Amino acid sequence: MSKFLLLAFRNVFRNRRRTLMTLLMVGGGVAGLLLVGGFFAFMFRGLRESTIRNGLGHIQIFTAEHFQRDEVHVLDTGISDWQHVASSVRTGKHVRGVAPRIEFYGMLSNGVKSSVFMGSAVQPEIERSMGFSPRLASGNDLNSSSNGEVEALVGTGVARSMNVKVGDGLTILSVTADGALNGLDVQIVGLVNTGFKDLDDRYLRITLPSAQRLLQSDRVTNLVVGLDNTDNTDAVAAELAPQLRGLSQPMVEKKWIELAAYYKQVRTLFSGIFLFLGVIVFFMVLMATVNTLLMAMFERTREIGTMLAMGTPRTWIVALFMVEATLTGLFGAVAGVIGGNLLGMLLNVSGLHLPPPPGTDVPMAFRVLHVPALMIGSSLMVVVSLALASILPAIRASRLQIAEALAHV
């Protein structure tokens, strides 16, 4: 068997120029897939982390009722004994913090103009400790301990629309938990740029006590759990589930992926694009190597005839060609993985940026992640492509008429 592999190995490098061209093509295909896939992986990771850090968190805890019916009044499906739940969850492994939130909506007014807002109320110190600080375009983050004025962060779109800046005041109007209308004067301490224009045009954030005062309720909408690492989400969620089931108010948990609809859409779209690219590369490699292998078979016709005359089983000839193609695929894959990673490193240190994607106004960094699964997948893909490409030439070679093959010039 080792001599047979040795023969296949030496045959691969018999026509060095042709082998080099094949390796370049195969390696180029692998490197191309690694670069595109690595960039997509970077994009997915960036989108995932920004989705989480923009406030989604890793896990969110709601009352079970929250998903069973629409709220008649704000917070009527909220968590009442949230301090107890938060302290219980906070003791878990990998948990960096638990942040209570209130999601509410209403109107903003500067006295001249009114605008709709989508508000969230937070405990800023806890949010900061969990790394969920908003991306400030100007000003400062909220401060719970401030005296007097109620502090607020608004989106850059809101500021532009309402013609306000840091230090200016606004009035927020909302319906309380009892269904009455209530108002609160706030002072803008910072402008936020979330990266999503539509969100920036409606964004408002105030402290939790301020929102509870506005909404006349001590409940919260949900608890946002922040973890030390996104990869621990599943493990922590599994640990939390029994704890939550044992509480007096039925609770449910949602992992970030269940709540990140936009992330899932983007991922599905780009995965489809990547699959399409993979199919193109697969067929390019397949077509080009069929041609190369047919040429090799033609050149070695007399040699194959000699081997068959000596009594070599025809299955050996098929196996020989397939092993040669598989070895070529392996060498090409190794070259592609090395080349793709080196090129990726070069691109990463070059500091390239792409124009802002639609819906955002922040230029996107161009980075390529080195994803082991992608390297293995791309390598397997080209090895399988070459093995498949070799079937036709291998069968043709094995079916040669011996006398004719020996007379081949």
Partner 1 sequence: MIPTVALVHVDAVTRRFPLDHNEVIALDHTSLRVERGEFLAIAGPSGSGKSTLLNLIGCIDKPTSGRILIDGVDTGTLSPVQLTDLRRKKIGFVFQTFNLIPVFTAAENVEFPLLIQGLSPAERRTRVTEALESVGLAGRAHQRPDLLSGGERQRVAVARAIVHRPALVLADEPTANLDTRNATQLIELMRGLNQRLGLTFIFSTHDQRLLEHTPRIVRLTDGQVVSDSFAKGDVHEQVSAACIS
User: Which residues of the shown chain bind partner 1 in the complex (CB under 8 A)?
Assistant: 3-4, 6-7, 10-11, 14, 302-303, 305-314, 316, 402-403, 406
Smaller CB distance to partner 1: residue 369 or 397?
397
Q: Shortest distance, CB of residue 392 to partner 1, whole angstroms?
A: 21
Residue in this structure with the two tokens 């695929």, named with its chain if needed: 329
Q: Shortest distance, CB of residue 11 to partner 1, whole angstroms?
A: 6
Q: What is the rounded CA–CA span in Å between residue 407 and residue 409?
A: 6
Tell which residue, 135, 67, 100, has the closest CA to residue 211. 100
Q: Shortest distance, CB of residue 357 to partner 1, whole angstroms?
A: 53
Q: Shortest distance, CB of residue 275 to partner 1, whole angstroms?
A: 39
Smaller CB distance to partner 1: residue 295 or 346?
295
Q: What is the rounded CA–CA span in Å between residue 382 and residue 209?
A: 59
Q: Shortest distance, CB of residue 333 to partner 1, whole angstroms?
A: 23
Q: What is the rounded CA–CA span in Å between residue 123 and residue 117?
A: 19
Strands 364-365 and 353-354: antiparallel
Element (H, E) at 118: strand 114-122
- What string of H, E and C letters represents the secondary structure of 152-171? EEEEHHHHHHHCCCCCCEEE
For residue 337 the two structure tokens come to 């993985």
Smaller CB distance to partner 1: residue 27 or 305?
305
The overall longest dimension of the chain from CA atoms, in Å, is 103
Q: What is the rounded CA–CA span in Å between residue 153 and residue 210?
A: 13
Smaller CB distance to partner 1: residue 235 or 402?
402
Q: Shortest distance, CB of residue 402 to partner 1, whole angstroms?
A: 4
Q: Shortest distance, CB of residue 326 to partner 1, whole angstroms?
A: 17
Tell which residue, 67, 40, 19, 111, has the closest CA to residue 269. 40
Smaller CB distance to partner 1: residue 61 or 297?
297
Smaller CB distance to partner 1: residue 1 or 112?
1
Smaller CB distance to partner 1: residue 310 or 349?
310
Residues 217/78, Cβ–Cβ less than 8 Å: yes
- 310: Cβ–Cβ under 8 A, 6 or more apart, which residues? none
